[in-house]
Structure 1
Amino acid sequence: MGDIRRRGAVALGLTGLVAPLTLALGSTPAQAASCTTATGPNQKQVEKFLGRPVDGRQSAADCKAIQAFQTKHGITPNIGYAGPVTWGVMDLMNKQKAVGSNPNRDGKCPVNKGRIACVNLTLQLSWIQDGSRLVYGPVPVRTGRNGYETRTGLKKIYWRDIDHVSTIYNVAMPYSQFFDGGQAFHSVGLSMWNPPGSHGCVNMTPATAKKYWSLLKNGDDVYVYGRKPGT
């Protein structure tokens, strides 16, 4: 997240990162590394996810498919190895898709607050609801990594800056909507599944961040709950 210049004071924060859930969201591909011939511990699960023949044995075609997935989502090293990090991303994608159009089925995001932005850290999903009515989402998001966790609880949007730039990290944070110290919703040019996560903000795709900007305002509630995998 970035720092916030407000009434002459500087509030320091942490940098953080849908429309439908698709695998089309990706980061700028890195230069491809050499492909490994090693069979990974999650070979069968990864093969199944990618629509490859499920035989549990690494092949050249398997490696290229795994490597393309890793490159797209910024998973390193991108050598085509079917390890726990790659499978963890795929498993999260499966769980996100299974939510469907009822993200608050567990009733954990308050329905008595009117319009509210909900963030489920466990599933790395966010949505906007009005009472029990779903307004937008659910969409995949990218929240704080281990040591920079997005803080849980009920909060309110208190400051918005459409062209915010973090002077801590010297990065642009377009469509920033701050709700807890330096933690904010904002857009990034990364895959929403890019590990290990943000520096505390709730990262979104540009399209999602713009939609949140149009649907929310200062004073609207934000509820963050759960725990991001790996934190």
Structure 2
Amino acid sequence: MRGTTGGARAVAALAALLTVGGCTAQAVDADGGPRGPVHIEVTGTAPATPAPSAPARSTPAPAASEDDKPSTAPAAPAPPPRVLWSPGDTGPGVRELQARLRQVAWLYDGPTGTYDDLTGQAVSGFQGKRGLPRTGETDTVTWQRLLDMTREPGQWELYLMGGQPADAPDPRCLSGRVLCISKSSRTMRWMIDGRTVSTLPVRFGSEYTPTREGEFQVYWKSRHHHSTLYDSPMPYAMFFSGGQAVHYSADFAARGYAGASHGCVNVRDEAAIAELFEEVRTGDKVVVHW
């Protein structure tokens, strides 16, 4: 019996092994001999292999409408620079232009208030140095570049060579024949009975040799005068107070208000002072005021 039981256990173990493996085994009888092939049904279910799914179909994006498309219209062109001043123009704007060109060492003459050949050449050079068209005319682009590089000129810079407007005449100048000289506006009016005949820019003495103020008279005229004290020419001199006189100054003509006299009233326009010298008489009044 024990042998039979052991054989049965062996058969059961083999059947269990085959059930797990899923194979066909050969059965044995109770005595251990073969009984012929036995088909063992496998009761376990193998995991199912999923069928391949169909590829996902992409949905095309909706076509962009005309409103969604970026605009391809060209941008409006920038307006061309506007010309502010050109050769032949005059006025305070031209004077400021010249003063600013002097600040950046492109102009050494003036300011005169007249857009002359030297001003045009200075503007052309300034433009070329900065990659701008060398037109010689001051347009809005050129002017802005110059403004960015300079400061606002003072009154003395604007009228470095004269030409500033004269202020109101002193009340003492409103009667008779008078050389009416203003230190504040640096001008001299030649007046007859309250009427201004001509106006000239003038220069005065320094703080160490100031031009005296007050009311005087022309006491001596000397057409070709030469100063023995300073060894310098004083043509068309009209003396009014000691050694101080109204006269032509070549230094004033060359340097403008960058210099000063030794107390005299300097005139830079030689032709104008020569004409005035002929009109002024000994004994005519001279008023020097602020």
How many Å separate the matches in 2 of 1:47 and 1:179? 37
Residues 162 and 201 of structure 2 are in contact (CA less than 8 Å); yes or no, is this contact kept in structure 1? Answer: no
Deviation at 1:224, TM superposition (A): 0.3
1:188-214 CA-partner distances (Å, limit 9, x unpaired) = 113352323111001113122212211
Residue identity matched to 1:155: F
The one of 216, 223, 242 aligned to 1:162? 223
Residue identity matched to 1:215: E
- 1:64 maps to what in 2? 105
- 2:234 maps to what in 1? 173
Instruction: Give TM-score, length-normalised by structure 2.
Output: 0.47
Residue 50 and residue 132 in structure 1: after superposition, are their counterparts in 2 closer, same or farther (change >3 A)? same
* 1:143 correspondence with 2:228: no
Structure 1 runs not aligned, ≥5 long: 1-45, 73-80, 227-231
Residues 181 and 289 of structure 2 are in contact (CA less than 8 Å); yes or no, is this contact kept in structure 1? Answer: yes
How many Å separate the matches in 2 of 1:168 and 1:130? 33
Deviation at 1:141, TM superposition (A): 0.7
Residues 50 and 65 of structure 1 are in contact (CA less than 8 Å); yes or no, is this contact kept in structure 2? Answer: no
* 1:50 correspondence with 2:97: yes
How many Å separate the matches in 1 of 2:172 and 2:154? 28
Larger helix proportion of the pair: 2
1:102-136 CA-partner distances (Å, limit 9, x unpaired) = x4635444212x11111001111001111111122
1:170-223 CA-partner distances (Å, limit 9, x unpaired) = 111111110000000111113352323111001113122212211101100000
How many Å separate the matches in 2 of 1:47 and 1:135? 26
Residues 47 and 62 of structure 1 are in contact (CA less than 8 Å); yes or no, is this contact kept in structure 2? Answer: no
Deviation at 1:50, TM superposition (A): 1.9
How many Å separate the matches in 2 of 1:50 and 1:119? 28
How many Å separate the matches in 2 of 1:48 and 1:158? 38
Residue identity matched to 1:49: E
- 1:89 maps to what in 2? 156
Deviation at 1:147, TM superposition (A): 1.3
- In the TM superposition, 1:171-210 aligns within 5 A as 171-191=232-252, 193-204=256-267, 205-210=269-274
* 1:213 correspondence with 2:277: yes
1:153-184 CA-partner distances (Å, limit 9, x unpaired) = 10000011111111111111111110000000
Residue 188 and residue 51 in structure 1: after superposition, are their counterparts in 2 closer, same or farther (change >3 A)? closer
% same residue: 25
Residues 117 and 128 of structure 1 are in contact (CA less than 8 Å); yes or no, is this contact kept in structure 2? Answer: yes
- 2:177 maps to what in 1? 115
Residues 115 and 129 of structure 1 are in contact (CA less than 8 Å); yes or no, is this contact kept in structure 2? Answer: yes
Q: Secondary structure at the match of 2:157?
A: helix
Residues 95 and 123 of structure 1 are in contact (CA less than 8 Å); yes or no, is this contact kept in structure 2? Answer: no
Paired residues in the alignment total: 159
Q: Which has the higher contact order (CA 8 A, sep 6+)?
A: 1
Structure 2 runs not aligned, ≥5 long: 1-92, 113-148
Q: Secondary structure at the match of 1:65?
A: coil
Instruction: Give TM-score, length-normalised by structure 1.
Output: 0.58
Residue 130 and residue 167 in structure 1: after superposition, are their counterparts in 2 closer, same or farther (change >3 A)? same
Residues 249 and 266 of structure 2 are in contact (CA less than 8 Å); yes or no, is this contact kept in structure 1? Answer: yes
Residues 96 and 123 of structure 1 are in contact (CA less than 8 Å); yes or no, is this contact kept in structure 2? Answer: no
How many Å separate the matches in 2 of 1:142 and 1:62? 22
Residue 206 and residue 47 in structure 1: after superposition, are their counterparts in 2 closer, same or farther (change >3 A)? closer
Residue identity matched to 1:203: N
1:50-84 CA-partner distances (Å, limit 9, x unpaired) = 269x9xxx9xx972325x248x9xxxxxxxx9689
